[in-house]
Structure 1
Amino acid sequence: MNENVSTITSFSSSDLDAAEARLCRLEFFEFVKSFWDVIIKEEPEYNWHIPYLCEELQKLSVPIVARQKKLYDIIINIPPGTTKTTIVTIMYPAWIWTQDPTLRIITNSYSKELSIEHATKSKDIITSDKYKRLFPEVALRRDKAGKASYENTSTGARYVTSSGSAITGKHAHLIINDDPQNPQQAESEAERKTANDHTKTLSSRKVHKEKTPVVTIMQRLHEDDVTGYLLKKKSESIKHICLPAELSDRVLPVELKDHYVDGKLDPSRLGDSALEEAKIDLGSRGYAGQFEQTPGSDEGNIIKKEWFTKIPRSEFDYLRDSQPIIFFGDTAFTDRKENDPSGFLGSCRIGNKIYITHATKIRKKFPDLIRFLPDYLKVNGYTDRSSLRIEPKANGLSVIDQLQESTDLNVTETPSPTDSKSTRLYAISPTIECGRVVLVEGDWNEEFIEEVAGFPVKVHDEYVDILTYAVDYHEGNVEEDQTDILNAFGR
């Protein structure tokens, strides 16, 4: 009797394993639930976005396994603390081997240590007793079972890399780019370029360009971060999933707005108190990127949009009387759209206020720029008491020399800055906050405010440079004053 019961119990356990294995193979979300406690001991909370992401990744896997043309690449922008790495970078590679153990996968993150940690947790799942029992066809090779990379006995492999590292000689059926840059790296133009260039390199590591999808998952950190870079390069072949912590027009696809509860993505883990704490810890700019999925706070970063006041041009003309307009320039001789433009700004001090009278950006080659400037300045208030002060970097000195030789403009250089742009903008921020920088109304106002308030997460910052020069000049924070300049020009 006991022997029969034992036999039945053993048989029943085998049946249960077979049923669980079938269910896990059929649905990635069931796999996540089944193997959650292998790597995470806390009780799971499966907010709606978790099964949604699992379903999207499962759809992506079908043509991968069939070796057919990929559906698309995927970008997922989602806040920290939403189980995104567990699903995408740890669980997904382990699950996809249950579909086809011959698949090769490359995973990337901003640091080597983090990439190895993700791969190790995947390996913990694959080497667990439960996984071996449910999927005995997937077994790691003992001679190729390292931490950073490992292979299975069916020719499948997992390779890891990190932004800026080389990954030569390896090609994959699936590439996962998980947090290719951290918030500190996103502040640096050089680090952003490294992450974007590495993303380009990852794209060259495909078994087949049309069949290997790339999954990029990250928070938004800068207008020109990896997400921004990819959307500019090939947005038509990307499915963009954007899930900010709070309901907004940035939710993509738009139908996912219906899943938000009380305006929150995940009211349990990212409720009011958690989000308020994040705002305090990260500040408005950090919160905007990591939780709102927008590169920069809507209100502004170092400079707030509301700090700028405006007056009609007619009111400015009445106040100005004969006060000279002083112009500032940040030049670049190119007409190519992908390069930095030249920026110019007119300014005037009346009493204790500095008025920005006009600002523009243009992309012109050197001869065209020299021809453009005299007319532009005169149309915008230049007189013989005005001057044009140009930043002496790169081609600035050449522009100054040519204008002095071929025109009657009063042209000189601004003092070369010794501090960073951020430091200089912070230094003039009290002047702007107190309402002492006033914009004369014009169609340039919106672009100007967006760029200055968006710094340092905007791609371009010409207006930031010339605004800091203008405020420093009018507040007497430069060595020369206007009288000295006019004497130098023989006025």
Structure 2
Amino acid sequence: MRVQLSRMELDYMPPEMRREMRERAARLGVLLPDGTFRKDVTQRYQDILMNVPPGTMKSRIVSVMGPCWVWTRWPEWRVLALSTTPDVALRDAIHSRDVLASDWYREMFEPTWRFSEDQDAKGNYKNTRGGQRQSKGITAKITGSRSDTILVDDPHDAKEIHSAPKREAVLLAWDTAIANRVNDLRSSTRLIIMQRLHERELAGHVLARGGVEHLCLPLEYEVKRACACPSCVRGETALGWKDPRTTEGEVLQQSRFPPEVVAAEKKRLGSYGAAGQLQQRPAPAGGGMFPRGWWRFHSLGGQRPLRNGAPVSRPEGCTDAPPARTPERFDRVFTTLDANFAEGLDSDPAVLWVVGTKGAQRFVLSRRVAHGYPDTERMLRQAAKDFPEASAHLVENKANGHAIVQTLRLVVPGVIAREPEGGKVVRAAALQPSVEAGDWHLLDGADWVGDVVEQFANFPRAAHDDDVDAASQGHIWLARPEVFVV
């Protein structure tokens, strides 16, 4: 899987293949105008993420047949194969060994090795040339020799994807115990193959870090993909492969997935399940509980704000209707804070909304983010100063929320501690009808609008849910303002 080829390799290629490789290299920006190759292009693309639907033989091709093929060319190759449970990893290891031991394989490829007698367990076997396959659960303790390739196949259990501790356990294992268990950090490869089930699962985690080559195959082709990684924006992988489909909705394999099968799978999985497992999106394209088209917008003059002479763009899927005029006077102005006091930019942020109401309409006047207790306290103090007309400051009374309530009451009037009512999804469901009715208006052109719309669209499978919590807290308080903890 080379991206850059040596001069010798090019010289010994047939002319047709040499021409094709140069055209591909030029298309990918690897070939310079003077005919030489960029020196900063690595020999191997080390990190590869594959998102493909179930039923497409992903495990058979990658986890079973792949290692068998590599041992025909590189019998010294060592692989660490991981999956959501040891049983799944062991299953593929057994299937792969069955192929390696078959008469067909040995007659076809005439391998110069045999299985090592001193290590030939079902999930951990070697050959006499030094090649090895180890198979474990994704969160198992990893010991023993390092590998040339880390192969991760379905690291998450779909039934447990909403469990934050279980998701985080996989990410922690990847960052601290798995990703560096390779023979050579400069050239060894890491391959992850899975479906998208949540924004904060392993696929979302590595995409957010960057530097990964992404092969994404939705069951039904989408002309406009949501993923903004370089591979998806470019439309092809660094190896030169791209999805041959061009028609919206074209199925990945018509003979295997005829319309009646696709319709039955969508019904069985539901909108979120179909989005993740079939389309490789954490949430439906238009949004889940909160579709993008539900949001309304407001501006001071009732006109679309301009940037460089053109209207500021809104997130994909949002309405193009003119914004409402921001009222000069409100019935009530308040802030609502979803507080989180963990330090560090990787932690969930504390999010504060400033909201003005006019009848049933809600106008989001400002949205602010902080990390850690000191910044959160300063953020609320500043919001109270910037919006002196705010008569109430709602703070969720959970975890350390009680501490900030007691502190802020000494310096900011109107601080109200709010006890969470029900789970996050239950509270969001209470907010849902008012957003669907078009009662919530975001500040048109604000730099935070995209983050808010995307978080709501992906809820409850978004990486963060702080905006949803802040908004639902405010909505519930407005519906029953006399019911609060003082």
TM-score (norm 2): 0.76
Q: How many residues align?
A: 408
2:400 aligned to which of 395, 400, 418: 395
Pair 1:355-2:329 in alignment: no
SS at match of 2:182: coil
CA distance in 2, matches of 1:216, 1:477: 49
Change beyond 3 A, Cα 1:436–1:161: same
Conserved in 1, the CA contact under 8 Å of 2:298 and 2:363?
no
User: Cα 1:71–1:321, aligned 2, differ >3 Å: closer, same or farther?
Assistant: closer
Return the offset for 1:438: 4.5
1:167 equivalenced with 2:153 (yes/no): no
Letter in 1 for 2:384: L
Residue 302 of structure 2 corresponds to residue 327 of structure 1: no
Which position in structure 2 is the counterpart of 1:120?
94
Aligned AA for 1:243?
Answer: L
Give me the whole-angstrom Cα distance separating, in 2, the residues matched to 1:332 and 1:293.
Answer: 30
Q: Is the 8 A contact 2:341 2:400 kept in 1?
A: yes
Name the residue aligned to 2:451. 447
Q: CA deviation at 1:97?
A: 1.3
2:354 maps to 1:346: yes
What is the aligned partner in structure 2 of residue 25 from structure 1? none
Determine whether 1:267 maps to 2:254.
yes
| Equivalent residue in structure 1 for 2:279, among 278, 292, 299 | 292
Cα separation, 1, equivalents of 2:400 and 2:300: 33
Q: In the alignment, residue 266 of structure 1 is paired with which amino acid?
A: Q
Name the Cα RMSD after superposition: 2.9
Task: Establish whether residue 411 from structure 1 lines up as the match of residue 415 from structure 2.
Answer: yes
CA contact (8 A) 2:326 2:363 kept: no
Q: Is the 8 A contact 2:77 2:130 kept in 1?
A: yes
* Offset at residue 140 of structure 1 (A): 2.0
Q: Does 1:192 align with 2:167?
A: yes
Structure 1 stretches lacking a partner, 5+ long: 1-67
Aligned residue number for residue 469 of structure 1: 473
2:186 maps to amino acid? E
SS of the aligned residue for 1:92 comes to helix
Name the residue aligned to 1:379: 386
* Distance across 1 between alignment mates of 2:49 and 2:102: 30
1:273, 1:370 → 2: CA distance?
56
Code of the residue aligned with 1:303 in structure 2: it is F
CA distance in 1, matches of 2:335, 2:204: 33
For residue 103 of structure 1, what is the amino acid of its counterpart? W
Query: What SS does the corresponding residue of 2:98 show, helix, strand or coil?
Result: helix
State the partner residue of 1:102.
76
Q: How many Å separate the matches in 1 of 2:246 and 2:476? A: 48
Q: 1:383 to 1:297 in 2, by over 3 A?
A: same
Change (3 A) 1:367 1:157: closer
Whichever of the two has the greater Rg, that structure is 1
- How far, CA to CA, are the matches of 1:476 and 1:149 in structure 2? 61
**Partner Cα distance (1:222, 1:427) in 2:** 22
Does the CA contact (< 8 Å) of 1:74 and 1:215 recur in 2? yes
1:372-422 per-position Cα deviation (integer Å, ceiling 9, x unaligned): 434423434x427x1101112233223222222134x2112112x252212
The answer to whether the 8 A contact 1:70-1:211 is kept is yes
Amino acid at match of 1:326: F
Q: What CA distance in whole angstroms lies between the structure 1 residues aligned with 2:346 and 2:257? A: 38
Q: What residue identity is the alignment partner of 2:389?
A: T
**What is the TM-score normalised by the length of structure 1?**
0.75
Percent of residue pairs bearing the same amino acid type:
27
Larger % of helix: which? 1
Structure 2's unaligned 5+ residue stretches are 1-41, 226-230, 303-323
Is 1:180 the counterpart of 2:167 in the alignment?
no
Q: Judge conservation of contact 2:332–2:358 (CA < 8 Å) in 1.
A: no
**Cα distance 1:125–1:477, how it changes in 2: closer, same or farther (>3 A)?**
farther
